[in-house]
Structure 1
Amino acid sequence: MNALPPVFENWFARHGWSPHPHQLEMLDQAMAPALLLIAPTGGGKTMAGFLPSLVDLADGTHEGLHTLYISPLKALASDIRRNLERPVAEMGLPIRIEDRTGDTSSARKRRQRADPPHILLTTPESLALLTSYEDAARTFAGLKRVIVDEIHALEESKRGDQLMLALSRLQSLCPDLRRVGLSATVDDPQAIAHLLTRHPDPCRIVQADPGPNPDIRMLETDTPPPWSGGGGRYAIPAVLEEVKKHNTTLIFHNTRAQAEIFFHHLWLANDDALPIGIHHGSLSREQRERVEQAMVDGHLRAIVCTGSLDLGIDWGDVDLVIQVGAPKNVKRLVQRIGRANHRYNAPSKALLVPANRFEIVECHAALAAVREHDLDGETRTRGPKDVLCQHILIRACAGPFKETDLLAEIRTVGKYADLTRAEFDDCLDFVATGGYALRAYDKWQRLMQRPDGLWQLRDPRATRQIRMNIGTIMDPETLKVRYKGRGGAPLGEIEEGFAATLTPGDTFLIGGQVVRYEGLREMTVQVTRNPGKEPKIATFNGTKFATSTQLSQRILRMLEQDSWPELPPHTAEWLHLQREVSQLPKAGRLLIESFPRDSRHYTCVYGFAGRNAQQTLGLLLTKRMEELGLHPMGFVATDYATLIWGLDPLCDPEPLFDITALREGLDSWLAGNAVMKRTFKASAVIAGLIDRNYAGQRKSGRQATFSSDILYDTLLRYDPDHLMMRITREEAERGLVDFARIEEMIASIKGRIDHVTLDRLTPLSAPLFLEHGRTPVEGAAQDRLLAEAEAALMADAGLDGLPV
């Protein structure tokens, strides 16, 4: 095994530390072409990844860029730079370390290309931009290692696909480049290794001691969770008590809107004036940075947050994580738990707060999965073609290329390893001409093939526009929010659709503050302070998680138990009552309940396929019911069920679930639906068909939507098999409507449908009635009306006598 140089041994000794075995193994395996480290949070992954580079650079002989570090977060890159600079300075190593993100000045970026540091820390987007310059070969000359941090967070995202394509380009420029991946505990290390490596080369995997199991349990509250909803407001008194007991608490939410609502009510209940902050992606950079610095300085007792703090930033003295709402995904829960006690071999401490009664079951299923180290994985997909089209444009910016060389380079990326020549030619033709229906327009004539067979940009001046639009992150259509007046401080962003509903005098929440809408000026929402009025809630896009397939299956297995001693009495009795009145859903079978209520006929389908798929199922089933003359009127969906109501009873559900008919229904529905136009816009921007940025300005969401709608309608009419239309169908099915999970559900039940006809609603279906038509609560009167309606509904379902 390679020995640590004395200067490193002495540095560890001065701090009373010893290098972990996996850190020494990473040094010993440093010459492997690809190396993946799987280690728990706080396990010293960063030092393990950089140790071979620091040892290489310690003698001061290397000139230029040696190691490139890729982070999924700008803030993480900055944090790692600060953490690296300390040991480098303490050991007196002649190593220059810099970061390069969207916040780096243009002058510094130009200097970094001409005179790169020894270690450069950046993001996937900034790396793609670097590879687009003609001098990329000079910038990366001498590059020895690339480190991809938090690689599990990039595995199933287009940012990860973009990164791996950029790495294929780097590998061509630097054939001896060694790849290192750093990951938290994952369900399938081989899949992550396959993502990291240069196909078909092998990747060595180093697995650290996973350390002790986390200390994770349910938060006990005096008030039981409500029957529906997702805010967790009922638990605020108990959450405040936990905050008082700990140094710093991270309070995670699954959506930005839920985080805003919870923070607002937490602050109102904060009688001890504990310093509490809020952090999510729709807040202004200035506000996020103030919160981050306050966390580092230890000035905050709690931070209400979303996925913006999921990843491995070491924020101060965090000793407790609270997850409000069911985690939906076990891997995500483990990642968030790891933010607490960010030290090796120290158990992380976390509390789960189910937002409603059914989430109690889901949270217990997630707890069992964590204890058994049963992490959920998603189906691996082929590389998306919109990202590939963007990569071809990026490659063209760097200079002429030979198509066979580029294809061979792309096929070294695992997700594109089976890319056919016809598929590649289709993408190349689209990038070059816009495709059949658009090739008559000069705007999309971007590439030309020279007499020597090489491809190049038709107009070299196009490089600026292409570079301005590099990236796969699709920002929501938002407007900036600022305080009114000259130099008004920025607060963040709200969606255009929400802004359109505001009239002067309306109030809403942003950054935990109640503000008053004054008007719209130069695409900026102007507000003033107004803490006294009940607010509306800003609608933030963000990520809307669906319960994973593995967690859903675990829940179904729980429901097959004879009893549930691990559950609170009110929840266990609820499930027992469901079994008495009807039956509980079973794995491998589909439970459908039909019953009348208030002169309507209801059908409840327990598919456990996740919210997106259940929503899509509602659309398709109501379409099928219309065709069968059943007069459906509407539906509502959750992660586990779809409730449909109409004028006629359902007698035979089997014809509804013919997969061919459902597929045809999906195709016809998608063809004329706004979902397709939204998906088309996102893919068209990524593929380079639509520009989101122009020199000196940025398109508003409405402008971009208008131009993309025109393009979509044109292609639908004149070229429905255009590459962008095919990409759009693939993306819509995979992401927004999740039809694959419907297909998976139907295949698993194999026609085994349990149709139970009853004369009243059932205990398990009752909460879905409360999902229907819910509106923001406005005042005490509305609270009382909702409470009375809920009490009547639960009495009808026989749930009014359950223990608390």
Structure 2
Amino acid sequence: MNAEDLPPALADFFAARDWTLHPHQQELLARRDEPSLLLIAPTGGGKTLAGFLPTLVECADGHEGLHTLYISPLKALANDIRRNLAVPIEEAGLPIRVEDRTGDTSQTQRKRQRADPPQILLTTPESLALMISYPDAARTFAGLRRVVVDEIHALAENKRGDQLMLALSRLQTLAPGMRRVGLSATVDEPAVIAHYLARHPDPCPIVLADPGPPPDIAILETQDAPPWAGAGGRYAIPAVLEQVRRHNTTLIFHNTRAQAEIFFHNLWLANTDDLPIGIHHGALSKEARQRVERAMVEGQLKAIVATGSLDLGIDWGNVDLVIQVGAPKKVKQLVQRIGRANHRYNAPSKARLVPANRFEVLECHAALAAVRDGELDGDLRRDGPRDVLCQHIACIACAGDFNADALYREVTSVGPYSQLPRSDFDECLNFVATGGYALRAYDRYQRLKEREPGIWGLRDPRSARQIRMNLGTIIDTDTLKVRLKGRGGIPLGEIEEGFAATLTKGDTFLMGGQVVRYENMREMTVEVSPNPSKEPRIATYIGYKWTTSVQLAARIQSMLHTRDFGGLPSHTRYWLELQDEVSRMPEPGRLLIETFPRDGRHHVCLYGFAGRNAHQTLALLITKGMEEADLDPLGFVATDYATLIWGLKPVRDVAPFLQHEGIHAALESWLQGNAVMKRTFRASAIIAGLIDRNYPGKRTSGRQATFSSDILYDTLHRYDPDHLMLRITEEEAMRGHIDFGRVELLLQEVGDRIDQIDLDRVSPLAAPLFLEQGRVPIKGRAEGRLIQEEATRLMAEAGLSLE
């Protein structure tokens, strides 16, 4: 179907704008009756219009009730889509109502939407789960014809996506003719995403758009060299400001919220031209985020400092440069962010990378090579987690009685759960119904009742409210609202509860780019006042800290092994050449270990290139073995590429502590009493519904929830060690906080190929680890100068000049 074949109102709209349909948009229109379809198109290639065109065509002559459900991982993306859809709908005069339904939607509007839904509803996985939990869900979704899942790759990597796929299985039952469309720009394994989206056993065809021209991407040239450690990128601010002046609008991405706040604060202090610059991240208030989004849409900002809250899909055509501060950690994350610049079809994106420290220079060069070669990275889970399934079963029970056989067929019709054994499903059902063997005597865990063989429902219908209040798979550290003091004080955002507990009256911290002063806490809200004159403390923000992907780490190792230093700046090249001279380079398939004395301590440095979480786990297990061997370890520090351990006695041979069988047994023993397991248990228990986060009229504080989850964990461990939640916890811990999969992969690849080098001083490659956070605990105005002095001393020891 070409533009001229569209319904007259739409054809006139396209003609008035001199628009023609791209081939992939035509293909999605032609194949709109497919049960499921996956479109992979470059950013700016019109994916969203391709996803919605069948809806606009089918609704051009009117449609009663909900026709299309659009699901996005970000609320900001839904807001952007609503603005963009308004243009063709209003100018073509289409009888289509578009509304969003997110956590920001009022209770009154939510209730009205269930009774009188719009033709197009924009929502998130959490809000959709809530909608299907009501008894009137069958009526709300009766006319549903289409579901569009945007940025599906971002959802396929986490439990939010698993929750969404389970919700789609229920929607398919409520609306059997519903068709699914997935949209994505960055997919490393299209077939895996297609399997994930498919309505099993039917396949999901894939539509591949023209990838467009390669991006204009390079490392930003700066006057000063990157520091030896740190992640802030402060040294590059003059060069970043110069780029902001030269371009229309610049997006400046950071990997964490705290880093974004620090960089924005320093950028603003250096902004002597008073360029309009904003900040956007998920811990800011809805009002603050929406103000920045409006300013961006209206072209009022020269730059915006952001995190993952703006990674996906936002269509701001006047953004002509993206700057990534800090190594991207994942190639596809970088490609996603690059695509925010020149968000137009067949227009090359422009991006500059700012390595935050010397080692990140290597990471950035490796990432650039991967982008040029078109190689993405990823680590998609193949099996859906059972804690999410437990929550879904409780969610379905809220809507009314259900047949267990029918629900099992529903659940196994979606990719993440297509291989789920019936025994696992029944075990989850039993857990939701009784809490399991050790808890079945407690009334609060008796949630479901089998009314007749195979037919289950809520034991007490009043419990539906409590279940709905606790739906969702995002487990953040507990946060407190922050607002300006005074009647009707402006909300600023959220800070972590643990950080708030350390504040005393007069303390200052960064919030939304401004320095604020802590005044008091009132009804679980932190009240602050503006205080621009003081040096701030830094709020600790929730937010995922990425670890370098396996594929990117392998590229870095290959660069080191082949001595491919030609494209590196002279300061980094000199550093690496000296490492090669005084020690040796890490090699793929081998493990380099250096030992050396410093400051009266004996140090062991392992270069595993397995990511921070895996290195922390490896260090914990090695130090446990060292302790048992009376080698008196004192501590460790871990980065994405190495871990440094120090103690009172030299370690003559590290290899015995790296035996695969022994380290796995040590992990099992260590996990049982470790706080990591209890934290993981708490997260899974909240998702599965064993622990409630919220109660009517109040919320549980982080300390209270942890206390109750610790008691539950200890009770189950003692009286029911084979309890479903304990098995789920171990599975989650293995692939989550401790990343044991990367540890196992490293040990399997290395085997006995371990190169231990005994040195008489710190090596050039190990020296930056002494500057990692926790090694130089100096705070305040002098911090930068003192760290620089420490760096000078360290590098001199390693034979390096800082010039």
TM interval, shorter chain, is: over 0.9
Query: What amino acid maps onto 2:608 in structure 1?
Result: G
Structure 1, 23-32 or 372-381: larger mean CA deviation: 372-381
Asked if the contact 2:776–2:787 (Cα under 8 Å) also holds between the matched residues in 1, the reply is no
Query: What amino acid maps onto 1:271 in structure 2?
Result: T
Among candidates 23, 33, 48, match of residue 46 of structure 1 = 48
Describe the SS at the equivalent of 2:156: coil
Residue 532 in 1 paired to residue 548 in 2? Answer: no
Q: Which residue in the other structure is 2:543 paired with?
A: 542
Q: How far, CA to CA, are the matches of 2:618 and 2:244 in structure 1?
A: 41
Q: Which residue in the other structure is 2:31 paired with?
A: 29
Q: How far, CA to CA, are the matches of 2:784 and 2:410 in structure 1?
A: 61
Asked if the contact 1:613–1:739 (Cα under 8 Å) also holds between the matched residues in 2, the reply is yes
Asked if the contact 1:216–1:351 (Cα under 8 Å) also holds between the matched residues in 2, the reply is yes
Asked if the contact 1:534–1:778 (Cα under 8 Å) also holds between the matched residues in 2, the reply is no
Q: How far, CA to CA, are the matches of 1:140 and 1:295 in structure 2?
A: 35
Asked if the contact 2:10–2:88 (Cα under 8 Å) also holds between the matched residues in 1, the reply is no
Describe the SS at the equivalent of 1:736: coil
Q: After superposition, what is the alpha-carbon deviation per residue over 1:740-770, rounded to whole angstroms, capped at 9, x for unaligned?
A: 0000111111221111111111110010111
Give the number of aligned pairs: 801
Asked if the contact 1:297–1:316 (Cα under 8 Å) also holds between the matched residues in 2, the reply is no
Residue 426 in 1 paired to residue 432 in 2? Answer: no
Residue 97 in 1 paired to residue 98 in 2? Answer: yes
Asked if the contact 2:253–2:307 (Cα under 8 Å) also holds between the matched residues in 1, the reply is yes
Describe the SS at the equivalent of 1:755: strand
Asked if the contact 1:595–1:759 (Cα under 8 Å) also holds between the matched residues in 2, the reply is yes
Query: What amino acid maps onto 2:201 in structure 1?
Result: P
Asked if the contact 2:7–2:60 (Cα under 8 Å) also holds between the matched residues in 1, the reply is no
Q: How far, CA to CA, are the matches of 1:170 and 1:474 in structure 2?
A: 25
Q: Which residue in the other structure is 1:477 paired with?
A: 478
Query: What amino acid maps onto 1:678 in structure 2?
Result: R
Q: After superposition, what is the alpha-carbon deviation per residue over 1:597-637, rounded to whole angstroms, capped at 9, x for unaligned?
A: 12211111000001111111111111111122222111100
Q: Which residue in the other structure is 1:739 paired with?
A: 740
Q: Which residue in the other structure is 1:578 paired with?
A: 579
Q: How far, CA to CA, are the matches of 1:25 and 1:563 in structure 2?
A: 44
Q: How far, CA to CA, are the matches of 2:170 and 2:122 in structure 1?
A: 18
Q: Which residue in the other structure is 1:187 paired with?
A: 188
What displacement does 1:486 show? 2.1
Q: Which residue in the other structure is 2:161 paired with?
A: 160
Q: Which residue in the other structure is 1:139 paired with?
A: 140
Describe the SS at the equivalent of 1:35: strand
Q: After superposition, what is the alpha-carbon deviation per residue over 1:160-218, rounded to whole angstroms, capped at 9, x for unaligned?
A: 00000001111122222211101113111111111110122111111111111111100
Match runs of 1:428-467 below 5 Å: 428-467=429-468
Q: Sort the Cα spacing of 1:5 and 1:482 in 2 relative to 1 into closer, same or farther, 3 A.
A: closer
Match runs of 1:363-378 below 5 Å: 363-378=364-379
What displacement does 1:379 show? 4.5
**TM-score normalised to structure 1 length:** 0.98
Match runs of 1:376-525 below 5 Å: 376-525=377-526
Q: How far, CA to CA, are the matches of 2:614 and 2:792 in structure 1?
A: 30
What displacement does 1:693 show? 1.4
Asked if the contact 1:277–1:291 (Cα under 8 Å) also holds between the matched residues in 2, the reply is yes
What displacement does 1:685 show? 1.1
Q: Which residue in the other structure is 2:683 paired with?
A: 682
Describe the SS at the equivalent of 2:183: strand
Asked if the contact 1:298–1:316 (Cα under 8 Å) also holds between the matched residues in 2, the reply is no
Query: What amino acid maps onto 2:509 in structure 1?
Result: F
Q: Which residue in the other structure is 1:9 paired with?
A: 11
What displacement does 1:451 show? 2.7
Asked if the contact 1:518–1:527 (Cα under 8 Å) also holds between the matched residues in 2, the reply is yes
Asked if the contact 1:292–1:315 (Cα under 8 Å) also holds between the matched residues in 2, the reply is no
Query: What amino acid maps onto 1:107 in structure 2?
Result: T
Q: How far, CA to CA, are the matches of 2:434 and 2:630 in structure 1?
A: 47
Q: How far, CA to CA, are the matches of 2:401 and 2:390 in structure 1?
A: 16
Q: How far, CA to CA, are the matches of 1:466 and 1:517 in structure 2?
A: 35
Query: What amino acid maps onto 1:714 in structure 2?
Result: T
* Alpha-carbon RMSD: 1.5
What displacement does 1:483 show? 1.9
What displacement does 1:739 show? 0.6
Asked if the contact 2:9–2:93 (Cα under 8 Å) also holds between the matched residues in 1, the reply is no
Asked if the contact 1:563–1:572 (Cα under 8 Å) also holds between the matched residues in 2, the reply is no
Q: After superposition, what is the alpha-carbon deviation per residue over 1:654-688, rounded to whole angstroms, capped at 9, x for unaligned?
A: 21111222122222222212222221111111111
Asked if the contact 1:331–1:375 (Cα under 8 Å) also holds between the matched residues in 2, the reply is yes
Query: What amino acid maps onto 2:370 in structure 1?
Result: A
What displacement does 1:782 show? 4.1
Q: How far, CA to CA, are the matches of 1:779 and 1:106 in structure 2?
A: 45
Asked if the contact 1:259–1:305 (Cα under 8 Å) also holds between the matched residues in 2, the reply is yes
**TM-score normalised to structure 2 length:** 0.98
Structure 2: segments with no counterpart, 5+ residues: none
Q: Which residue in the other structure is 1:260 paired with?
A: 261
What displacement does 1:265 show? 0.8
Q: Which residue in the other structure is 1:247 paired with?
A: 248
Q: How far, CA to CA, are the matches of 1:639 and 1:381 in structure 2?
A: 25
Match runs of 1:232-311 below 5 Å: 232-311=233-312
Match runs of 1:581-596 below 5 Å: 581-596=582-597
Asked if the contact 1:95–1:118 (Cα under 8 Å) also holds between the matched residues in 2, the reply is yes
Residue 351 in 1 paired to residue 369 in 2? Answer: no
Asked if the contact 2:637–2:644 (Cα under 8 Å) also holds between the matched residues in 1, the reply is yes
Query: What amino acid maps onto 2:95 in structure 1?
Result: P
Q: How far, CA to CA, are the matches of 2:766 and 2:18 in structure 1?
A: 59
Q: How far, CA to CA, are the matches of 1:251 and 1:137 in structure 2?
A: 44
Q: How far, CA to CA, are the matches of 2:606 and 2:790 in structure 1?
A: 23
Structure 1, 163-172 or 470-479: larger mean CA deviation: 470-479
Q: Which residue in the other structure is 1:639 paired with?
A: 640
Residue 611 in 1 paired to residue 608 in 2? Answer: no
Q: After superposition, what is the alpha-carbon deviation per residue over 1:221-268, rounded to whole angstroms, capped at 9, x for unaligned?
A: 110000001110000111111111111111110011111111111111
Q: How far, CA to CA, are the matches of 1:480 and 1:384 in structure 2?
A: 31
Q: Which residue in the other structure is 2:774 paired with?
A: 773
Q: How far, CA to CA, are the matches of 2:551 and 2:29 in structure 1?
A: 36
Q: Sort the Cα spacing of 1:451 and 1:562 in 2 relative to 1 into closer, same or farther, 3 A.
A: closer
Q: How far, CA to CA, are the matches of 1:687 and 1:783 in structure 2?
A: 45
What displacement does 1:777 show? 5.5
Q: Which residue in the other structure is 2:796 paired with?
A: 795
Q: Which residue in the other structure is 2:670 paired with?
A: 669
Query: What amino acid maps onto 1:358 in structure 2?
Result: F
Asked if the contact 2:232–2:262 (Cα under 8 Å) also holds between the matched residues in 1, the reply is yes
Q: How far, CA to CA, are the matches of 2:233 and 2:451 in structure 1?
A: 62
Asked if the contact 1:37–1:183 (Cα under 8 Å) also holds between the matched residues in 2, the reply is yes
Query: What amino acid maps onto 2:17 in structure 1?
Result: H
